[in-house]
Amino acid sequence: IDAALADGPLKGRHVLVTSGPTHEPIDPVRYIANRSSGAQGTAIAAALRDLGAQVTFVTGPATVPPPAGVQVVRVETAREMLAAVEAALPADAAVMTAAVADWRVANQNGQKMKKDGSGKAPALEFAENPDILASVSKGPTRPRLVIGFAAETEQVVDHATAKRVRKGCDWIVANDVSPATGIMGGTENAVVLISAAGAEAWPRMAKDQVAKKLADRIALALQNS
Ligand code: CTP
Ligand code: CA
């Protein structure tokens, strides 16, 4: 089976996939996080592997396990993820599915924070994290095909189209993560693929199916360029 898989349309291609949330420490025992399960990124890495790609999978602390047959690089924070991504380049394509924390805690405490008995809560200060997708898209070792994801809760296509231009990536896979959709942490996804050519809405389907369809499109794009 392995030999057959290795002969797929992505044989000889290196694809980088980021996945999962990042955790941003407050102190040694507490962190800021988000609800990403890593399911979509994991499914995409597996689908790319099944087409024969050599996959580097840079993952934050996801709830689903990473796929077999890929090179797994585990990170915790956004800054660690950026360093791991840079170390994994060059690649033919990059698929940035990670739900990177937009902010880290600027006034991180070296020791566990303690209540001081006054009843006053501590104030957290935040600093913006580096934008990994923008940095790869605009960097010196840019993969030929750079794909971002956009989690939106409103005006999905407009926001994601603007994001594609702002970040300099080729495609954005946009999805509506408003709580009513049940997509965040669920098994299905309804996405819109946004490229320079416009927006293409895909029907709601299992995350595995989204992953297969996207992997096929990636293989096609790399063949034609
Ligand atoms: N992303 C990234 N680094 C960040 C933030 C986001 O690489 N610090 C990537 C994500 O992996 C995703 C894409 O950028 O592929 C869009 O993420 P999203 O959170 O939707 O975009 P933001 O630019 O953070 O905008 P927003 O304010 O809407 O969260
Ligand atoms: Ca964000």
The 10s digit of each residue's pLDDT in 47-99 is: 999 999 999 999 999 999 999 999 999 999 999 999 999 999 999 999 999 99
The reply to whether 84 falls in a domain is yes
Question: Is residue 163 annotated as involved in ligand binding?
Answer: yes
Domain that holds residue 74: 2-110+124-223
Report the alpha-carbon angle 32-38-39, nearest 5. Answer: 145
Question: Is residue 132 annotated as involved in ligand binding?
Answer: yes
Q: Is 15 in the pocket of ligand 1 (CB under 6 A)?
A: no
pTM above 0.90, yes or no: yes
Tell me the C-alpha distance between 182 and 32, whole Å: 22
The reply to whether 130 falls in a domain is yes
Q: What is the number of helices (H) and of strands (E) in the chain?
A: 6, 14
Helix 207-223 vs helix 39-50: crossing angle, to nearest 10: 50
The pLDDT-based confidence of 179 (bands split at 50, 70, 90) is: confident
Which residue's structure tokens are 């957290």? 124
The reply to whether 118 falls in a domain is no
Handedness of CA 175, 177, 178, 184 (dihedral sign): positive
How far apart, in Å, are the Cα atoms of 172 and each of 27, 99, 111, 204? 34, 14, 40, 17
The reply to whether 119 falls in a domain is no
The reply to whether 117 falls in a domain is no
Helix (H, G, I), strand (E, B) or coil at 99: strand
Residue 224 appears among annotated catalytic residues: no
CATH number at residue 158: 3.40.50.10300
The reply to whether 115 falls in a domain is no
* Neighbouring residues of 140: CB distance < 8 A, sequence distance ≥ 6: none
pLDDT in tens, 107-166: 999 999 999 999 999 999 999 999 999 999 999 999 999 999 998 989 999 999 999 999
The yes-or-no verdict on residue 5 having pLDDT over 60 is no
Task: State the closest ligand 1 atom to the C-alpha of 149, by its place in the atom list counted from 1.
Answer: 15
C-beta separation of 146 from 136 below 8 A: yes
Closest-CA residue, ligand 1 atom 29, reads: 102
Q: What is the dihedral of CA 35, 38, 39, 40, to 10 degrees?
A: 100
Q: Is 150 in the pocket of ligand 1 (CB under 6 A)?
A: yes
- pLDDT at position 225, please? 66
Q: Give the residue from 86, 78, 83 showing the smallest Cα distance to 142.
A: 86
- pLDDT at position 7, please? 82
Report which bound ligand comes closest to the CA of 166. Answer: 1
Helix (H, G, I), strand (E, B) or coil at 23: coil
Q: Is 170 in the pocket of ligand 1 (CB under 6 A)?
A: no
Tell me the C-alpha distance between 100 and 82, whole Å: 10
Beta-carbon neighbours within 5 Å of ion ligand 2: 102
Task: State the closest ligand 1 atom to the C-alpha of 163, by its place in the atom list counted from 1.
Answer: 23
Closest-CA residue, ligand 1 atom 18, reads: 150
Task: State the closest ligand 1 atom to the C-alpha of 78, by its place in the atom list counted from 1.
Answer: 8
Ligand 1 pocket test target in 22, 36, 102 with most atoms within 8 Å of CB: 102
For the chain, the domain total comes to 1
Q: Is 146 in the pocket of ligand 1 (CB under 6 A)?
A: no
The reply to whether 116 falls in a domain is no
Report which bound ligand comes closest to the CA of 127. Answer: 1
Report which bound ligand comes closest to the CA of 38. Answer: 1
The reply to whether 164 falls in a domain is yes
